[in-house]
Amino acid sequence: MIRGFRGATTVEVNEAESIVSASYEMVEAVIARNNLKAEDISHVWFTVTNDLNAAFPAKSLRQLDGYQFVPVMCAREIDVPDGIERCIRVMVTAETGLAQRDIQHVYLNRAVSLRPDLSLTNQEKSG
């Protein structure tokens, strides 16, 4: 079954190193928690809020062994008034045997506020 795996995180500053590092941490957690393998991933979409433009978050995926052939795109998030600032989101689409209820979406840093309804939200790094 093809399923979507979500993640979101935030950074404190619009700097390339911060964007790539936070994106890497988020994607690595999505992959690890859901036991995903590069060959099972159809594609990956990153979005960023308008206040982030110092780097492409897709660069983070290239740091993972075996992911050089996974198609990756970046786009701008809708600029919603009072939306969370400096936010990076990801949607990983992959073949999996997991039921939807068993998928572990990953929300880090201030992004935990986006989906407080998910019991699987990682709140360890909120702040």
The DSSP string of 70-105 is S-EEEEEPP--TTPPSSEEEEEEEEE-S--GGG---
Q: Catalytic: which of 15, 62, 85, 124? A: 62
Q: Is 110 among the residues known to form the active site?
A: no
Count the neighbouring beta carbons within 10 Å of the beta carbon of residue 81. 4
Q: In this structure, what is the dihedral angle of CA atoms 13, 53, 84, 24, given to the nearest 10 degrees?
A: -70
Residue tagged active-site, from 24, 67, 86, 89: 89
Q: Please confirm, yes or no, whether 24 is among the known catalytic residues.
A: no
Residues in binding site for prephenate: 6, 89, 107
**Catalytic member of 24, 77, 86, 110:** 77
Note if 77 is an active site residue: yes
Let me know if 33 is a catalytic residue.
no
Catalytic annotation, pick one of 28, 33, 85, 115? 115
Catalytic position from the list 3, 33, 74, 85: 74
Give the residue numbers of the binding site: 6, 89, 107
Q: Does residue 115 carry a catalytic annotation?
A: yes
The β-bridge relationship of strands 106-107 and 41-48 is unpaired
CA-CA distances (angstroms) from residue 58 to 8, 21, 97?
14, 11, 26
Catalytic residue among 6, 67, 87, 110: 6
List, by residue number, the catalytic residues: 6, 62, 74, 77, 89, 107, 115
